[in-house]
Amino acid sequence: MRKINFFVILLLLSTWGLAQKNNVQSAAKAIGLTSITAGDGSMVAGIREKYDELEDAKKYIDLALVHPKTSNSIKMWYYRGRTYLIIHQQKRKDIDTDAIRIATESLLKCIRQDERKMLKDSTKVFLMTAAILCFFEGQNKYFDKKYKESYHLYDLAHECLEYDSGKDLARNNVSEKKIILNKYYAANGMGDDQKAKDHLVKLIDMNYNDPMIFISMSRLMQEEKDTAKALEYVEKGRKRFYDNAVLVREQVDLSIALGKSEELMKRLGADIEYDPDNNALYMVRGTLHQKSGDLDKAAADFKEALEIDPTSFFPNYNLGVMYYNDGVKVMTAAKEIVSNEEYAKEKARAEKIFGKAIPYFEAALEVDSEDTVVLQSLLRLYVRVGDDAKYADLKKKMGL
């Protein structure tokens, strides 16, 4: 009797184990896939997919995940990845809202554990698809302000790069630089300054072509009260993007904050003597004069910069701002004048100064037709000088 019970127990256990393995096959069948053994012993999957039994497929593969006999088998990971990938592709959020993460994690585990490379080729194909979708889902999470989830999805896409021998991700506009940049944004969003800095340093090392990485790094340093390090990154950025207006302003502001404005002024003077045709040097010195309140010298430097490059946005914009502000000062003071005759004189003087600002703003607008500050400034100036034709024309161009 004991022997019979023993064999019955063995039979039940083996049947139970088989049932768990069948959960993997049941999941595969539920999405229309079958396991086929190739001549070399490797396994490939049938190509017919179906989408009307996705709930069943998820149920079976989830059961296989938690059973010891199948919880770490490559076939389970493969079909789990395929199942959840289809759920995501079919937009079945009612089945699982986190399907693309699960799909990517599962396919990564499959390819990493597939030492005999039984499913390597097929896994790689679907892993690349999952990685691309994972990246774009990361963007969706970021726009929804779910920064931690966004970061994890970007991180998974990043992990997939080592298997992208065919450069599928890059062809789909998911380059390593773009992934790292987005990881920076997500890290910054969730307030992880260390990760944010790590990603910016990586982008700088990779020569990422955007001055904002230096500006962002500088501002993170400023938040940590490390003004010297902040200036160091700005100066690194200026070596690559010498005429970037934001970097120029940051360099001047930080130099003043560190009490290094005189040092910067002397250095700029020496640099201009050595390289008098470098308009960026005049822009920086002009900005430094402007911040120090020496507006005549600032205007002279900006005009020198325009002699070298009349199409440069920054000096045109700054000269426009300077004349505009001068005109506002005259008009503000004129409002206190009691005499109508004297008021009229000062008003006319202000309008003349406003008129000087207009050609500089117009030149800046030719360089950047979308700059909202320039557009709004020109609208106000046309009103002040009574140029109704230009005012109407600009409003029409702006769609107002």
Question: Using 50, 70 and 90 to split pLDDT, how confident is the model at 48?
Answer: very low
Question: Percent of the chain at pLDDT above 90?
Answer: 55
Q: What are phi and psi of 36, to 5 degrees?
A: -120, 135
167 or 61, greater pLDDT:
167
The domain segmentation of the chain, as residue ranges, is 20-174, 312-400
pLDDT tens digits, 263-280: 888 888 888 888 888 888
Question: Using 50, 70 and 90 to split pLDDT, how confident is the model at 318?
Answer: very high
Tokens of 336: 């206190």
Residue 249, pLDDT score: 82
CA distance 165 to 108: 15
8 or 326, greater pLDDT:
326
pLDDT winner (highest mean) among 78-82, 195-199, 228-232: 195-199
Residue 104, pLDDT score: 97
- pLDDT over 70 (residue 238): yes
Arithmetic mean of pLDDT over the chain: 86
* pTM score above 0.75: no
- pLDDT over 90 (residue 338): no
Question: Using 50, 70 and 90 to split pLDDT, how confident is the model at 118?
Answer: confident
Question: Using 50, 70 and 90 to split pLDDT, how confident is the model at 6?
Answer: very low
CA distance 108 to 123: 8
- pLDDT over 60 (residue 35): no
Residue 367, pLDDT score: 92
Residue by residue, DSSP assigns 81-141 as HHHHHHHHHTT-TTT-TTHHHHHHHHHHHHHHH-TT-SSHHHHHHHHHHHHHHHHHHHHHH
Residue 11, pLDDT score: 40
Residue 209, pLDDT score: 93
201 or 271, greater pLDDT:
201
400 or 296, greater pLDDT:
296
- pLDDT over 70 (residue 8): no
What one-letter code names the amino acid at 120? K
- pLDDT over 70 (residue 349): yes
Mean pLDDT to the nearest integer, 22-43: 56
CA distance 91 to 273: 64
What are the residues whose beta carbons fall under 8 Å from the beta carbon of 159, sequence distance 6 or more? Answer: 108
